[in-house]
Amino acid sequence: MKKLTFSGGIHPAGNKEATEKKPLVALTPPQLLYYPLSQHIGAPLKPVVAVGDAVAIGQKIADTDAFMSAPLHASVSGRVKDIGNYVNHTNTPVPTIVIENDGLDTWAEPIHTKNPDEMTPDEMRKIIREAGIVGLGGAAFPTHVKLSPPADKKITHLIVNAAECEPYLTSDRRVMLEMTDDIIGGLRYLMRMLSLNECYVGVEDNAPEAICALMEKADDSMHILELKKKYPQGSEKQLINAITGKEVPMGALPMDVGCIVINIGTVAEVYHALAKGIPLYQRVVTVSGDAVMEPKNLLVRLGTPFSCLTEECGGFKKEPHKIIMGGPMMGIAGVSLDIPVVKGTSGLLVFSEKASHMPTESMCIRCGRCVNACPMHLMPTTLDLYSRLGDLETLQKYNIMNCMECGSCTYVCPAKRYLVQSIRMGKAKINARKAKEKAKEANK
Ligand code: SF4
Ligand code: SF4
């Protein structure tokens, strides 16, 4: 089989050995679970329950009228104990529903009882929204929105992202091995919804057992493709390029070149919602890092604090120094193990001081390695310079907003420059300026 790839990128150590062969372990839900009302891209939610209300698993607890959002469901049965501000995965206190688990695991009615084979594509989209499904790869973009392209965008390719190119993470791999039938069922529904006769699933070549598992169950309409292991193969534009050869222009979206990209775990959730009426209430999380006693892949109810995950992994063998939510390249540093698992939590990594040591940066030696590594064809060294100078006009001229913050430039830099951090700062300044201008305009 020909291995597909894209230009640019890097080859960091995979570090997946600690968990790649570990089957999923269902984590017993704790006594208190925390559901932040802001946990995905789009409008924040409003509670549809009050303190003291009884709730069951799969019962909707928060929603909004906004299209660009997705409702939230209880992941245990019990009672609403509090609605207040608690720190979420962005390290910010946000309105949160707290549920006290009664330990009975009583289920609510399914979100629908229809036969999915008799549903129209629009009915299927409505159920996907009702199930609260968002992209499980980390971006947490509402899935029904992604599956609703405007009429003038003709979709020709459904691409499934199973690359899992971030080091340490093996949650998608376990989903491919342990929920294979659900993925195949989800692919059938998605193809029907988008009126497509084929779909493409991209898996990196470091997961041969997952490729075999999918190939064994896939029919002729499902192309299981082997991708060269390279970071960031799992980013949408690089995946589209590797699979179709198409380039998504700067500032454009996958649907502008006829593609919809969806994460493999999300496909399984689409199946659960359509075939069984089960909303998104749990997800797979890889727990790893050199400080963790026994790294594992856990099946975790949404709302479970990180401390319960590390306890299930036997605690720490080294003093924990740095917590990362997601992968080490694009994940976010966390301030506390009290933060709960949300829909976008693909991994929880905990590192010792030695493993998380930041090297001291020195002057750029103009070697050009960052430019060669950038998968978005940007000039990281130039962006770094103007970002530090605060020259926002020049940064925009050099397309800073196209940086996807993959960290490839920082990884290869021999001068150890904090390139992605500096570029992130430049982007934040531009966004802040735009927000200020918008507010000024609105107040006129
Ligand atoms: S972080 Fe941005 S500039 Fe650096 S390699 Fe990735 S896309 Fe390019
Ligand atoms: S890789 Fe580092 S040293 Fe080389 S050009 Fe880029 S910023 Fe400069």
- The per-residue pLDDT for range 254-274, each reduced to its tens digit, is 999 999 999 999 999 999 999
pLDDT at position 376 is 94
pLDDT at position 440 is 86
Which residue has its alpha carbon closest to ligand 1 atom 2?
Answer: 403
**Mean pLDDT score of the chain:** 95
For ligand 1, is residue 310 a contact (CB within 6 Å)? no
Point out the ligand nearest to the CA of residue 375.
1
Q: How far apart are the CA of 391 and the centre of ligand 2, in A?
A: 19
Assign 197 a pLDDT band (cuts: 50, 70, 90): very high
For ligand 2, is residue 363 a contact (CB within 6 Å)? no
Sheet holding 46-47, edge to edge: 46-47, 60-63, 72-73
The pair of three-digit structure tokens given for residue 358, joined into one six-digit string: 């930041």
Distance CA 171, CA 257 (A): 29
For helices 264-276 and 121-130, give the axis angle rounded to 10 degrees: 100
Assign 11 a pLDDT band (cuts: 50, 70, 90): very high
Pick from 426, 320, 334: which is nearest to 380 by CA? 426
For ligand 2, is residue 362 a contact (CB within 6 Å)? no
pLDDT at position 441 is 83
The answer to whether 191 and 198 are in contact (CB under 8 A) is yes
For ligand 2, is residue 308 a contact (CB within 6 Å)? no
For ligand 1, is residue 409 a contact (CB within 6 Å)? yes
Assign 1 a pLDDT band (cuts: 50, 70, 90): low
Which residue has its alpha carbon closest to ligand 2 atom 8?
Answer: 364
Q: How far apart are the CA of 351 and the centre of ligand 2, in A?
A: 27
Q: How far apart are the CA of 397 and the centre of ligand 2, in A?
A: 20
Question: What is the reported pTM?
Answer: 0.94
What is the per-residue DSSP string for 41-93? SSPPPEESS-TT-EE-BT-EEEE-S-SS---EE-SS-EEEEEEEEEE-TTSSE
Average pLDDT value for residue range 110-123: 96
For helices 208-217 and 180-193, give the axis angle rounded to 10 degrees: 60
Please, which residues have CB within 8 angstroms of residue 221's CB and are 6 or more apart in sequence? 191, 197, 198, 199
Model confidence at 138: pLDDT above 80: no
Helix (H) or strand (E) holding 285: strand 282-288
Q: How far apart are the CA of 352 and the centre of ligand 1, in A?
A: 26
Point out the ligand nearest to the CA of residue 330.
1
pLDDT at position 187 is 98
pLDDT at position 295 is 98
**CATH number attached to the domain at 1-26+110-357:** 3.40.50.11540
Pocket test for ligand 1, best of 330, 399, 403, 425 (most atoms within 8 A of CB): 403
Q: How far apart are the CA of 235 and the centre of ligand 1, in A?
A: 12
Helix (H) or strand (E) holding 36: strand 32-36
pLDDT in tens, 22-54: 999 999 999 999 999 988 778 889 999 999 999
